[in-house]
Homo-oligomer: A and B are copies of this chain.
């Protein structure tokens, strides 16, 4: 009836202070998946502190997870281990990765989930192989519990990164979303829609024209926004505004409302910016 390991197979030998681990997934808040991963981590690292980043990433949306992971993990102490599981390829030959860079240590499937943290700092990437596997029951459908969680716990307890597996020089990377600049302006796209309906674009603050008041943002359907606001409160309710958001990226927002709903825009839609 159950997959519970007998007590005498439980590994509680870690004495590693109180390491920090975070969890990010598309598992939601009504299944046993998140709880099972927490339990496995605590069996392998009994003193661990486990923090939830987000678990309602849209199902199998690797790009959304990559974005959230980068901007959340970047705030943690660098000794933190981040486990991220959005894994449509579980059970295929896709590799499992460990990445350690100046932000922290990451454990995730090799499907692009680490694209943003890797581009920020490639650090050292290794494929996760045998010794970490709970081999007695490595399932084909839940590597979060059977592979990523025990690996993360051991890394948090000081397991040597070099022994995880071979170096990987070609992790799967999502297509870069950096905005492109040419004579017509800056060509970007919507890369994230947050829970308030704010539209985060790929246009970086550093790419924007020097004069905020002379900036014009062109949206699909020949709509445009003139000027940059400084904050959400600078525009009239119901009026779309453009501003530099907390990720240092250009955002399209509507005060007290959802810009995504009001403008009918979604991830991937093009955005163009020019000064004039």
A positions within 8 Å CB-CB of B: 1-4, 6-7, 10, 12, 18, 20, 22, 24, 27-40, 42-43, 46-47, 49-60, 64, 67-78, 80, 88-92, 102-103, 116, 119-120, 139-142, 145-146, 178, 194-196, 204, 230-234, 243, 245-248, 251, 256
**CB contact under 8 A between A77 and B42, given known A2-B70, A35-B24:** yes
Given contacts A7-B78, A42-B77, A92-B231, A71 and B2 within 8 Å (CB-CB): yes
Kindly state the separation between the CA atoms of A11 and B76 in the bound complex, as whole angstroms. 11
Given contact pairs A32-B54, A54-B30, A4 touches B39 in the complex (Cβ within 8 A): no
Which residue of B is nearest A10, CB measured? B77
Report Cα–Cα, A58/B30, bound state, in Å: 8
Query: With contacts A35-B53, A54-B31, A233-B92 known, is A2 near B59, CB below 8 A?
Result: no
Q: Is the CB of A142 within 8 A of B246?
A: yes
Contacts of A92 in B (CB 8 A): 231, 233
The residue from B50, B68, B80, B103 contacting A30, defined by CB atoms under 8 A apart: B68
How far is B140's CA from A158's CA once the two chains are assembled, in angstroms?
39
User: Is the pair B231, A74 in contact by a Cβ cutoff of 8 Å?
Assistant: no
Q: Are A232 and B29 in contact (CB under 8 A)?
A: no
Q: List 8 A-B contacts (CB under 8 A).
A: A1-B248, A18-B47, A24-B35, A29-B54, A31-B194, A35-B54, A36-B75, A59-B195
A51 and B51 contact, Cβ closer than 8 Å, known pairs A2-B74, A68-B32, A78-B7? no
